[in-house]
Amino acid sequence: MRNNPLQCFRGRSSRLRDLAGFGFFLFAALISAMSAWQHPSILTWLYAIHNGLLAFFYARRAPAKQYDRTGLWLGMIAAFLPTFSTTTSHTAWYFLFPALAGYVLILWSLLTLGPRFGVAPADRGLTSRGPYRLLRHPMYLGELVFRVAMVFSSPYLFTAIILSLVLVFIQCWRILREEKMIEGYTCYMRIVPWRLIPGLW
């Protein structure tokens, strides 16, 4: 039986996209590691390790029933944005504590998601264990808190504010898009009512 040429093309396109995504996060990890080497601090090294973890989990994620291409690009931009802030080697404790809290939430979410992790809004099945029993999008919350703490460790307040607003917009867009794609999400919304912040949204 001959393979459908269209299916072959889609399969090849998917593999190339996966390779490009893995390469992007690996590149981001290398760039952030170089930045951490020049400006060593807990935050800069955590950011480098974070990008390395994204590359690892991206490479082992499960195939999606459907995914959003725009969301993939926005997710990549969000991962790379803290690179554009000038981070000093001396991080104030009031940036470090929220960054560590966000990082712990990221790790907890990654370990819970496993192969269901993805950068683009996609349907890889519903997860309701671990932090997903408390919030619908703990991974996005952890990323947002960690990355906002990263950009505010910059000495340039205006840059930090602009980057933070962009990060908030990207995460909210990804959340709303993803909730329309995952099968069975309506029932999950009734069980876990809050997206990011209990009592607010």
pLDDT of amino acid 43: 81
**Model confidence at 1, in pLDDT bands (50, 70, 90)?**
very low
How many structural domains compose the chain? 1
Residue-number span of the structural domain to which 121 is assigned: 59-191
Model confidence over 83-101: pLDDT tens digits?
Answer: 766 555 555 667 888 989 9
33 is a domain residue: no
31 is a domain residue: no
129 is a domain residue: yes
Residues 121 and 177: beta-carbon distance below 8 Å: yes
183 is a domain residue: yes
199 is a domain residue: no
Distance CA 148, CA 154 (A): 10
120 is a domain residue: yes
Share the mean pLDDT of the chain: 77
Phi and psi dihedrals of 67, rounded to 5? -145, 165
Model confidence over 153-188: pLDDT tens digits?
Answer: 777 788 888 888 998 998 888 888 888 877 778 888
34 is a domain residue: no
Secondary structure in 3-state letters for the chain:
CCCCHHHHHHHHHHHHHHHHHHHHHHHHHHHHHHHHHHCCCHHHHHHHHHHHHHHHHHHCCCCCCCECHHHHHHHHHHHHHHHHCCCCCCCCHHHHHHHHHHHHHHHHHHHHHHHHCCCCCECCCCCCCHHHHCCCCHHHHHHHHHHHHHHHCCCCHHHHHHHHHHHHHHHHHHHHHHHCCCCCHHHHHHHCCCCCCCCCC
Half-sphere exposure (CA, 13 Å, Cβ side) for 126? 16
Q: What is the pTM of this model?
A: 0.78
Model confidence over 54-75: pLDDT tens digits?
Answer: 888 777 766 665 566 676 777 7
Q: Among residues 44, 79, 34, which one has the least CA distance to residue 150?
A: 44
38 is a domain residue: no
Least confident window among 29-38, 51-60, 76-85, 162-171: 76-85
